[in-house]
């Protein structure tokens, strides 16, 4: 079929390969090469169409966006032309990213402006929620881990998207990667146009973004990079609830969206989302990198929170702070730590743990204050140790029988434990924290390790054959020489993991966060399911 793009055409559908529209007489072949086959969407900005490029072999599909000015006055057309050209330049600048559609062409024809972009085949995440249901917390964190680096890339090029929402994020069918589309509302932070004419209403209304997803400063035509952070936060709320902003209540006093009671997520993820959704720009995350850093704390906060909650209610924070000060973490902090949140405490603990891992001993100012922390909170005690001797004490040993018995009694925190050589074949240890533990040559064949945390753990030459590692967190884990044949690693987070010599033959890596460089170091075969869902070596 040939589709007419004349906005005033009463019947735009025509027979395939027609030269002119049978209803209005308009030429159907744009720029003598692009044949529009159907409309994809329409808004105040204009319309979007699916087309075929007849000038190329195979007539590949492409997307054509038509900018429709709100009037025909000379100054309106001139402004539309300037906006159009600036957008084309911006898209050309950021279109080299694999998660952004490439700009293929742009042109003006009969006082209509056209952008031609790469066609992305797949479903939007809005469609995913409608067809499959809401996302889990793990899926939202995976979503953020894919989108935030892209957002960082865009912002580094001084571009604000201004229309991030579920309908503008496509999961590409080819490789399951998330692609950000519809840059029609982009603005260049350095050269933002100032609109003074009332005739420009239709153009500027679209440029503001989508109501509900756009924060107050953007609706007031003062967008900043943090405006995209807010829109991404609203998108996450939609993924968790299937509710768009218009279906949620607002606090009439503060203007904040009321969403917490609709979701069931960890306190830390709720805190991250809450800061992404701050109405005040000053209190919101300023960069995508800040959000990524906050999310990296997630694997540690559950055990930390449990250890704090398990203590008597009176003076919990004061005692925790005292312990941190005794361990030397805050000995150089002149302002004290009385106003710290759990996330801030966790950040300090992790910084301390990093120093310990590197073998750096910490000496207090007086050289005499070194207390051994209570063993009731394994994560807190081990991460706050101020010497290698304390680290050795915290790296406690458990045999297979005691570990399984503890798990059956409800214990889920085995961080910083020495579990080398244990036989845990077939054990159910899902959603367990093994962060920074020693698991060398451990036998976990056929074990259920779904959604477990192995961040920075040593799994050197471990037997993980046929194990369930779906959605497992393996960031910076050492898997050198590990046997992962037949293991289910779908949607696992393997970024920065050492896979040198690891056997991934027959493993399922669908949706896993892993690079081609990492896979190149491992053993794979034609039965290995790669992150894009396809089997094979390539």
163, 326, 413, 466: the catalytic one is 163
Phi and psi, residue 67, nearest 5°: -85, 125
163 is catalytic: yes
Over its C-alpha atoms, the chain yields an Rg (Å, rounded) of: 27
Is 317 annotated among the ligand-binding residues?
no
Cα distance between residue 162 and residue 186, in whole Å: 6
- What contacts 202, CB < 8 A, 6 or more positions away? 44, 45, 68, 69, 70
Question: What contacts 24+ positions apart, CB below 8 Å, involve 190-194?
Answer: 190/158, 191/86, 193/79, 193/82, 193/83, 193/86
- Work out the burial of residue 276: count CB atoms within 10 Å of its CB; fewer than 13 is exposed, 13-18 middle, 19 or more buried: buried
Cα distance between residue 156 and residue 153, in whole Å: 5
Cα distance between residue 61 and residue 72, in whole Å: 31
Contact status, residue 10 vs residue 23, Cβ threshold 8 Å:
yes
Largest CA distance in the chain: 92
Residue written as tokens 């279906």? 247
Cα angle for residues 473, 479, 482 (degrees, 5° grid): 120
- DSSP, res 183: G
Phi and psi, residue 393, nearest 5°: -65, -40
Contact status, residue 277 vs residue 256, Cβ threshold 8 Å:
yes
| The two structure tokens encoding residue 508 | 């399922």
Positive or negative CA dihedral for 184, 186, 192, 196?
A: positive
| The two structure tokens encoding residue 473 | 């967190």
Can you count the helices (H) and strands (E) in the chain? 15, 15
| The two structure tokens encoding residue 59 | 């007539």
Exposure string (b/e) for 439-462, b if CB count within 10 Å is 16 or more? bbebbbbbbbbbbbbbbbbbbbbb
Distance, first Cα to last Cα, the chain: 37
Cα distance between residue 456 and residue 333, in whole Å: 28
Question: Binding site for ATP, residues?
Answer: 65
Give me the active site residues, please. Answer: 163
Question: Binding site, residues?
Answer: 65
């Amino acid at each position: 079929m040939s589709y007419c793009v004349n906005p005033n055409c009463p019947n735009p559908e025509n027979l395939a390969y027609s030269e002119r529209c049978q209803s209005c007489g308009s030429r159907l072949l744009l720029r003598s090469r692009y044949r529009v086959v159907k409309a994809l969407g329409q808004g105040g900005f204009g319309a979007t169409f699916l087309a075929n490029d007849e000038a190329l072999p195979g007539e590949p599909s492409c997307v054509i966006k038509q900018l429709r000015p709100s009037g025909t006055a000379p100054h309106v057309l001139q402004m539309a032309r300037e906006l159009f050209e600036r957008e084309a330049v911006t898209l050309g600048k950021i279109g080299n990213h694999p998660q952004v559609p490439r700009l293929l062409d742009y042109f003006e024809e009969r006082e209509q402006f056209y952008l031609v972009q790469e066609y992305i085949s797949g479903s939007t995440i809005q469609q995913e929620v409608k067809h499959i249901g809401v996302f889990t917390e793990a899926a939202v964190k995976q979503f953020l881990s894919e989108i935030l680096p892209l957002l960082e890339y865009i912002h580094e090029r001084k571009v604000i998207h201004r229309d991030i929402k579920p309908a503008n994020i496509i999961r590409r069918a080819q490789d399951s990667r998330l692609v950000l589309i519809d840059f029609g509302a982009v603005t260049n932070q350095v050269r933002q146009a100032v609109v003074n004419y009332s005739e420009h209403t239709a153009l500027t209304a679209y440029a503001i973004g989508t109501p509900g997803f756009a924060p107050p400063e953007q609706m007031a035509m003062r967008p900043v990079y943090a405006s995209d952070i807010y829109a991404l936060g609203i998108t996450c709320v939609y993924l968790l609830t299937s509710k768009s902003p218009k279906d949620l209540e607002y606090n009439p006093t503060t203007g904040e969206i009321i969403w917490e009671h609709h979701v069931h997520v960890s306190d830390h993820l709720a805190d991250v989302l809450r800061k992404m959704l701050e109405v005040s720009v000053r209190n919101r995350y300023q960069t995508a990198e800040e959000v990524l850093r906050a999310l990296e704390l997630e694997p540690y906060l559950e055990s930390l929170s449990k250890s704090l909650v398990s203590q008597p209610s009176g003076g919990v924070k004061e005692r925790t702070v005292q312990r941190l000060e005794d361990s030397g973490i805050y000995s150089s902090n002149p302002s004290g730590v009385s106003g710290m949140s759990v996330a801030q405490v966790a950040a300090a603990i992790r910084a301390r743990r990093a120093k310990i891992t590197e073998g750096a001993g910490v000496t207090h100012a007086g050289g005499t204050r070194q207390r051994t922390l209570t063993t009731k909170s394994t994560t807190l005690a081990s991460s706050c140790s101020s010497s290698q001797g304390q680290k050795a004490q915290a790296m406690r040993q458990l045999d297979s029988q005691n570990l399984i018995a503890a798990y059956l009694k409800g214990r889920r925190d085995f961080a910083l434990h020495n579990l080398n050589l244990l036989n845990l074949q077939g054990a159910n240890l899902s959603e367990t924290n093994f962060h920074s533990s020693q698991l060398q040559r451990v036998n976990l064949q056929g074990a259920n390790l779904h959604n477990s945390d192995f961040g920075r753990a040593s799994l050197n030459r471990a037997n993980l054959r046929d194990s369930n590692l779906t959605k497992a967190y393996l960031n910076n884990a050492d898997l050198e020489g590990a046997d992962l044949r037949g293991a289910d690693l779908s949607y696992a987070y393997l970024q920065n993991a050492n896979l040198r010599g690891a056997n991934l033959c027959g493993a399922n890596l669908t949706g896993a966060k892993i690079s081609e460089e990492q896979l190149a170091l491992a053993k794979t075969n034609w039965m290995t399911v790669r992150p894009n869902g396809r089997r094979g070596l390539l």
